[in-house]
A and B are shown apart, each in its own frame.
Chain A
């Protein structure tokens, strides 16, 4: 190694790290670690909220279907009772008409 290379070695010696580098690094490390630890809790909370929303939506959908079914059944009953009433009326009219012919 010649003089020039020796000089390069001296000139290119390591520089001291900036003051506070370690402190900032340790702070970043702590915040990263706390972020890593909070992630499972956040995931768990998200799963609970999502499942609550989905099961609520499913229950609401089921109740809505039942309500619609009930309403349709009521309408069918009303229609049948109207038909029944009309048929009874027609029957009594026909009976009255038959009696008049005799």
Chain B
């Protein structure tokens, strides 16, 4: 089908590099790997630029490929017997002042402990603000499955955050007592 939209690769990189990098970082937990994935995704976009029909299509395409590349990278790491993810931030060179609060840092770490499908759904929901239907289209999964991942992921994250907060308060009280 003919389309009038003329994609500009550099503009697309400017507009979406933060999104692609953040998706890969939250999925893998490794800054170096996330950058590698972001580069791969954009180079693939460059090869498929002729098939992209609109700005919205480019954004959808980038999200989809970024998630699939991140999942592939995690699978490769599992095959090699390495467990990437989970150790976010301080182990990967992000300055502490970039973070808003200690709870924010902890929530990022807790997100990384969620099972991969739940993490994918949560990242797309809360980073990208997508609806379950849009997440389902991005991940190529049934909407019901996505909704279930979101509910379970949120429940698990809430429980972990609550227990983490109790632990934090107990440590503060203990420190004050000492």
Contact = CB atoms under 8 A, between A and B. Distances in A.
Interface string B143-169: 000000000001001100100000000
Given A16-B18, A29-B43, A32-B43, A7 B13 contact: no
Nearest to B108: A11
A22 B18 contact: no
A77 B94 CA distance: 93
Contacts of B104: 10-11
Interface residues of A, number: 22
B126 interface: yes
B19 to A, nearest CB: 6
Interface residues of B, number: 36
A15 B21 contact: yes
B13 A15 contact: no
Contacts of A13: 127
Interface of B: 9-10, 13-14, 17-22, 25-26, 31, 35, 38-39, 42-43, 46, 94, 98, 100, 103-104, 107-108, 111, 122-123, 126-127, 129, 154, 157-158, 161
30 contacts: A4-B154, A4-B158, A5-B126, A7-B103, A8-B122, A8-B157, A10-B100, A10-B104, A11-B100, A11-B108, A12-B108, A12-B122, A12-B123, A12-B127, A14-B18, A14-B22, A14-B127, A15-B18, A15-B22, A17-B18, A17-B21, A17-B35, A18-B31, A21-B17, A21-B39, A22-B10, A22-B17, A28-B43, A29-B9, A29-B46
Interface of A: 4-5, 7-18, 21-22, 24-26, 28-29, 32
Q: Which 9 A-B pairs have the closest CB atoms?
A: A17-B17, A12-B126, A11-B104, A17-B21, A8-B126, A14-B22, A12-B127, A15-B22, A14-B18
